[in-house]
Structure 1
Amino acid sequence: MTEPKLRVGVYPGTFDPITLGHMDIIRRGAKLVDRLVIGVTNNPSKSPMFTVEERMEMVRRECTGIDSEIRVVAFNSLLMDFAEREGAGVIIRGLRAVADFEYEYQMAGMNQQLNSRIETVFLMADVSLQPIASRLVKEIALFGGDIRKFVTPTVSNEMVERVKIIGRKGS
């Protein structure tokens, strides 16, 4: 009797910072696969607040306690090439709103053209978490706003410290 094939999923993102919305998708996505690979990358159109290494550590720490096999890996390549290298059969993407859907729909179509063996699965974020976007969390933090509703206490503290460093560099 042969071993059943391991179902591997990839959840890619910049996670700058990891939010409660990301954690919702991670928890739920991890239930759909045997191994969830969280791919941390840089988006050329975004200016990260944290380095890839810092974000990977943040994601690892925040995923502690999730009872699933989760790997956190940096990547700097086409998503479909990364997914292929990881042995993934599925890409997991979170949707918050209609605006997300348009972008994600286009991306899923392009990815299917690149590799039709890997499916894209969309998970709707929990209703209470749908407005959360890392970009907005960073903006709120940079202006001294309270971000504790959007990230864990540890991530909130890290962001407050990072904003202080950024403020010192800017003065």
Structure 2
Amino acid sequence: MTNGHIDIVSRASYLFDEVVVAVGVNKSKNRLFSPEERIDMLTEAVREFPNVKVDGFTGLLTTYCQERDIHAIVKGLRAVSDFDYELQMAQMNSSLADIETVFVPTTPEYSFLASSLVKEVATFGGDVSGLVPDFVRERLAARIDENRRKGDQ
């Protein structure tokens, strides 16, 4: 969860009566945190928004949305390269279910921000404060240290 994600959630909470941050389990991605840990961190990060909740799911996002009567997916866009991929996903989702995708351009100060970059910078000892909430930075540093200790054994 980066400050860019929080920015998109904040803006979506202004646009919609209710926002669900849906955390999918994608086995092809190498995650530092379990789905439960990610849900806990996201819940803490969005607690200031009373109309936002966090939930986890497996399978297709469209199935998750259909089962909960959700008709819009909000996607943050950082660059044109994001749009190419996300447009394809939006069109696929629309073909699978009656779901619209709403694209929200990221705030310029977060346009370079990607969780994979934050993880890489933190792994090599770089300062990620200002890019993620403090509690995420602390948990990230602790997990990286934990993984290093495991690697030393």
TM range (shorter): over 0.9
More divergent stretch after superposition (144-153 vs 21-30): 144-153
Query: Quick check: 1:42–1:48 contact (8 Å CA) kept in 2?
Result: no
What is the one-letter code of the residue matched to 2:121? I
Residues 110-138 of structure 1, C-alpha deviations (whole Å, 9 max, x = no match): 111101x2110000010001110001111
How many residues get paired? 152
2:127 to 146, 150, 156: 146
Say whether 1:37 aligns with 2:5.
no
Residue 87 of structure 1: CA displacement? 1.3
What is the one-letter code of the residue matched to 1:146? D
Alignment TM-score, normalising by the size of structure 2: 0.96
Q: Distance in 1 between matches of 2:99 and 2:91?
A: 11
Query: Quick check: 1:39–1:74 contact (8 Å CA) kept in 2?
Result: yes
Aligned to 2:62: 80
Residue 65 of structure 1: CA displacement? 1.4
Q: Distance in 2 between matches of 1:150 and 1:75?
A: 26
Give 3-state SS (helix, strand or coil) of 1:45's partner.
coil
Say whether 1:62 aligns with 2:15.
no
Give 3-state SS (helix, strand or coil) of 1:46's partner.
coil
Alignment TM-score, normalising by the size of structure 1: 0.86
Higher helix share: 2
What is the one-letter code of the residue matched to 1:81? T
Residue 170 of structure 1: CA displacement? 1.0
Q: State the percentage of identical aligned residues.
A: 39
Aligned to 1:26: 9
Q: How does 1:93-104 map to 2 (within 5 A)?
A: 93-104=75-86
Q: Distance in 2 between matches of 1:86 and 1:57?
A: 21
Aligned to 1:137: 118
Aligned to 1:53: 36
Aligned to 1:14: none
> What 5-or-longer segments of structure 1 have no aligned partner?
1-17
More divergent stretch after superposition (120-129 vs 143-152): 143-152
Residue 46 of structure 1: CA displacement? 1.2
What is the one-letter code of the residue matched to 1:21? G
Residue 144 of structure 1: CA displacement? 1.1
Residues 25-66 of structure 1, C-alpha deviations (whole Å, 9 max, x = no match): 000011121111110112233101001001101011011112
Aligned to 2:149: 168
Shift >3 Å, 4+ stretches: none
